[in-house]
Structure 1
Amino acid sequence: MRFVIPLIFGIVGCAVLIALGVWQVQRLTWKQEVLSQIESRIAADPVPLPAAPQAGDDRYLPVQIAGQTTGDELHVLASVKEMGAVYRVISAVDTVEGRRVLVDLGVIATPAKDAPRPPQEVAIIGNLHWPEETDGFTPDPDRDANIWFARDVAAMSAALRAEPFMIVARAITPDVPGITPLPVGTEGIPNDHLQYAMTWFSLALIWAGMTAFLLSRMRRVGPHARTSEEHR
């Protein structure tokens, strides 16, 4: 009878931990489907820019615009694999329809920050985006030096007097000298469910091992050994 409570405790604990691991595996399958849908949406054929894009319905929507860069830029300090420290160039573009939109043209090497990039006619294919990069720890931009630390669509749109959304360029014709487009992708979307699942399954294995060790030790010691120890 003295083995029943530890055994029940061990079984229930393992069951809970295994259930959490299975739930994370299910979440992994769901997240992979979501990422696949996003990737398909990103790569779809571009459409004309909607009249009033909304984050809920139009995130990642491929669009095409034509117009002229204004020469007004905001520079976001960033890091890109194999390139190191770079600046994202966020520019206002005046479209042929008379709209002013915010475009992430791509990245430049840090020494090219102040290189002249005069206004030019461009055709841009990109994806609508509302990056969520700011939190309570994001420093305020250094507006005097024109250095931002995150893509803040609301603040940047106000600074450049553009509509409150961003187009992340996939292709620019003709090229803007010195700028390498950095298209939107799913790389920045967290997908840690596999690691979580492995953690829960590992904890279940450890729990089972600890339970087996406890029962084995209780069997070796036995109730009489404890009684004789108390009378010694």
Structure 2
Amino acid sequence: MTQTVDGRARATRPPVPRLVPLTGALAVFILLCGLGIWQVQRLAWKTGLIATVEARLAAAPVPAPGPDAWPELTQAEAEYRRVTVSGRYRPESDRLVKAVTARGPGFWVMTPLDTDRGWQLLINRGFVPDSARRPQDRDLPANDVTISGLLRMSQPGGGFLRANDAAAGRWYSRDTAAMAADLGLGPVAPYFIDAEAGPDADALPIGGLTVVSFRNSHLVYAVTWFSLAALWAGWLIYLWRRGDGGRPGASQDI
């Protein structure tokens, strides 16, 4: 299309149906609002998780669940419960799992325990630094012990982009079933216990390093997305009133 301005012909763009840019603008607005609503939902979930974990940490320890309860255990129902169990560690059966803790990089020491109730589970006895990975660097009680700590569900597969390799002795997650198979054990609990800190806070392995604080920034994220949605809506209203027909970035034809 052309129109004459001061006697000169100038090309003009054909009119764009107003419904097309309006639909796209509304889709962006709905997306921003949807992201804000999702963060509100995440906020409710994270707040509930924190309250649940705090309540479980404050509760008295209970006996570790036995085989009859294993099929019903779920992460949501059981994780971070304080439990206790008695038995005897299996000698020369530690498995080291890569870890990064408040004490720096190193390993979790996972050791199977033959319980006095006739079944087996793995205990995360605590953390050792890279410089203390030899068996002689950490004591293993030879007598019966009673362990108190936090119930943690098995972590199958491995870590981020790194799979467990039992044959090479490389472990990146605390996979109880894979470790039991590597050790030639029978069925073990589908969870392990993070042992509490011992009386000597510096004795290896160091227990009680379970991270039980959870970052909760979902409110900030929700406010951010809703603010962007409001700004987007305000910008569209401004363009509409200016006469651009709701087309972001459009300019009036001369």
TM-score range, shorter chain: 0.7 to 0.9
Residue 73 of structure 1 pairs with residue 98 of structure 2: no
Counterpart residue number, 1:201: 226
Distance in 2 of aligned mates of 1:131 and 1:195: 32
* Alpha-carbon shift at residue 150 of structure 1 (Å): 1.3
| Count, aligned residues | 218
Counterpart residue number, 2:134: 114
Alignment of 1:1-232 (within 5 A): 14=29, 17-18=32-33, 20-52=35-67, 53-54=69-70, 55-56=73-74, 57-71=77-91, 72-81=93-102, 83-116=103-136, 117-121=139-143, 122-132=145-155, 134=157, 137-141=161-165, 143-144=167-168, 146-160=169-183, 161=185, 163-164=188-189, 165-172=191-198, 177-187=203-213, 191=216, 193-215=218-240, 217-218=242-243, 226=253, 229=254
Contact 1:24 1:196 in 2 (8 A): yes
Distance in 2 of aligned mates of 1:195 and 1:151: 33
Distance in 1 of aligned mates of 2:132 and 2:242: 69
Q: Deviations over 1:83-109 (max 9, x none)?
A: 221100000122233333210111011
Q: Which runs of 5+ in 1 are unaligned?
A: 220-224
Distance in 1 of aligned mates of 2:220 and 2:208: 28
Distance in 1 of aligned mates of 2:100 and 2:202: 20
Q: Deviations over 1:61-93 (max 9, x none)?
A: 321122222231000011113x22110000012
Q: Which has the higher contact order (CA 8 A, sep 6+)?
A: 1
- Counterpart of 1:181, as a letter, is G
Q: Deviations over 1:172-211 (max 9, x none)?
A: 5788941111354444x67553354144224313412431
TM-score w.r.t. length of structure 1: 0.74
Contact 2:82 2:148 in 1 (8 A): yes
- Counterpart of 2:46, as a letter, is K
Q: 1:19 to 1:101 in 2, by over 3 A?
A: closer
Q: 1:108 to 1:11 in 2, by over 3 A?
A: same
* Alpha-carbon shift at residue 114 of structure 1 (Å): 0.5
Distance in 2 of aligned mates of 1:190 and 1:110: 27
In angstroms, what is the RMSD of aligned CA positions? 3.5
Give % identity.
30
Rg comparison, structure with higher value = 2
Between Structure 1 and Structure 2, the one with more helix by share is 1
TM-score w.r.t. length of structure 2: 0.69
